[in-house]
Amino acid sequence: MDANRFDRIALVVHPRRELGNALATLREWAEAQGASLVQLASPGQEQQVAPPGEVDGADLVVALGGDGTTLAALRAAAAVHLPVLGIACGSLGALTAVTADQIDDALSRVASGDWTERRLPAVVVERQGAEDLRAINDLVLVRAAAGQAMVEIEVDGERFIRLAGDGVVAATPLGSTAYTMAAGGPMLAPGASGMVVTPLAPHGGVCPPLVTGPDSRIRITLDPGHGGARIELDGQVSDTLPPREPVVFTLRLEEAFATLVSLGEHEPMVAGLRRRGILVDSPRVLARDSRDAGAPKRPRS
């Protein structure tokens, strides 16, 4: 992308959220720059805000919405090695750089080169007879109907665990704060590298989450059981698997798959999780804080 020049901006927008003010500012800025706007197709899209277009040939991808919208934009942009500017049309998330009222300044900074790359890894998913898949947040292999799925997990050629349950989720460090955390898995702190593999509702046994190194290879054999199974990438259904046909998946980490625009002001990850109530102190600690805050100050002797 050449500094100070935009010919085309590709948009990925939230399927239903109100975007009127943000779009008005974006259109005005693009018109002043002589840049055209196109909209990329995305799952579940229900509103059209610009002529349909392809990511190839764009100078920048802008996501208008939240983290889910930004994930969709990152997946599209990674194919042609473009950066993504995430605009929060609502509250700030983990991937959005600025709020909607800062669009003008944010675009001007990106156009002038006043930004830095935030490189995001992906889980690369290989299976025989199918194209490789990539997940920026997580890969979920989950039963599609009644009954249990059977899962065998191996790491670097060594069996880790066999389990019966709902399935398994494999996440990047970024994705460790999403489905993985909700399923009881660990959160990887900023700067950590590797994958997290978390069983989903295992039926008995000792099946702890597994944290791997960045160079590890994970092999997952999934028997979908009588009800079949789904493959989900970053919260979207990618494929379905027929009943009773085991499939082998091989997972590895690709360190720099997608590029997010950082303007140097993004909120630290842990602070953002606490602000959004995803990380919450225990009730006993909060009760003590409340009690201490309401206690009358002792007079000095």
- Predicted TM-score (pTM) of this structure: 0.90
Of all helices (H) and strands (E), which one includes residue 151?
strand 149-155
Cα separation, 297 vs 282, in Å, equals 25
Residue from 139, 142, 124 nearest 235 by CA: 139
Cα separation, 24 vs 161, in Å, equals 53
- Would you state the CATH architecture of domain 8-115+263-280? 3-Layer(aba) Sandwich (3.40)
Per the prediction, the chain carries an average pLDDT of 93
Confidence of residue 48 (pLDDT cuts 50, 70, 90): very high
Task: With a cut of 90, say whether residue 266 has pLDDT above it.
Answer: no
- Would you state the CATH architecture of domain 122-255? Sandwich (2.60)
The 3-state DSSP class for residue 279 equals: coil
Point out the residues that are catalytic: 67
Strands 247-262 and 218-223, bridge-based pairing: antiparallel
The reply to whether 8-115+263-280 and 122-255 are identical in fold is no
Cα separation, 11 vs 222, in Å, equals 36
Of all helices (H) and strands (E), which one includes residue 223?
strand 218-223
Of all helices (H) and strands (E), which one includes residue 243?
none
Q: Which residue has the higher pLDDT, 294 or 287?
A: 287
Q: What is the pLDDT of residues 60-105, one digit of tens each?
A: 999 999 999 999 999 999 999 999 999 999 877 889 888 999 999 9
Neighbours of 110 (CB within 10 A): 22
| pLDDT at residue 299, as a whole number | 66
Taking the CA atoms of 30, 31, 35 and 39 in sequence, report the sign of the dihedral they define: positive
Amino acid at 13: V
Q: What is the pLDDT of residues 206-234, one digit of tens each?
A: 999 999 999 999 999 999 999 999 999 99
Q: What is the pLDDT of residues 166-202, one digit of tens each?
A: 999 999 999 999 999 999 999 999 899 999 999 999 9
Task: With a cut of 50, say whether residue 1 has pLDDT above it.
Answer: no
Domain ranges within the chain, ordered by starting residue: 8-115+263-280, 122-255
Confidence of residue 247 (pLDDT cuts 50, 70, 90): very high
What percent of the chain is helix, strand and coil (3-state, nearest 5)? 20, 35, 45
Task: With a cut of 70, say whether residue 8 has pLDDT above it.
Answer: yes
Confidence of residue 296 (pLDDT cuts 50, 70, 90): confident
